Amino acid sequence: MTILSVGLEKLSHFALAPTASRTSALNGTAVDLNDYEGDICVILDVENGGTSTLDVKIQSADTSGGSYSDVTNAVFTQVSTSASKQTLVFDKGSAKRFIKAVSTVSTSTHTYSVNAFGALKYA
């Protein structure tokens, strides 16, 4: 029990895309992973009622304003009209220092959020 509670104390939440109704593609705000270690868990939560397709992925770059590329194995399954809750986990080492959520929609509005958890190095 002690090992589990110590591990949970190190977890830190950060929002990659706060809950909102979006009618166009998202090019999220960069988050610095410098203070994190190990795996990063990302959660996509989509509300029922979209009328088009929604694709969400995680990208990374060496600097917050740098050239972003896709993080390997950090792509969610496409969502259409139904509600969806998906999680993915990737090793911090597979990404560069800064990450952000990126989405595309085919024609219409979706309401969703993208949140992440990681273990702080110095907690």
The CATH number of residue 104's host domain is 2.60.120
The percentage of residues in the chain with a pLDDT greater than 90, rounded to a whole number, is 75
Closest CA to 86 of 68, 108, 101: 101
Q: How far apart are CA 23 and CA 50, in angstroms?
A: 10
- Residue 106: the pLDDT is 82
- Return the pLDDT at 123: 64
**Residue 115 in contact with residue 91, Cβ under 8 Å?**
no
Q: How many domains would you assign to the chain?
A: 1
pLDDT in tens, 29-73: 999 999 999 999 999 999 998 778 999 999 999 999 999 999 999
Distance CA 100, CA 53 (A): 20
Helical (H) or strand (E) element with 20: strand 11-22
d(CA 116, CA 40): 7
101: alpha, beta or left, given left = phi > 0 and alpha = psi -120 to 50? beta
79 DSSP 8-state letter: B
C-beta of residue 16 within 8 angstroms of C-beta of residue 31? yes
- What pLDDT does 7 receive? 67
| Residue 27: domain span | 2-120
Q: Please give the mean pLDDT across all residues of the chain.
A: 91
Question: What does pTM read for this prediction?
Answer: 0.90
Q: Name the β-bridge partners of 99.
A: 31, 60
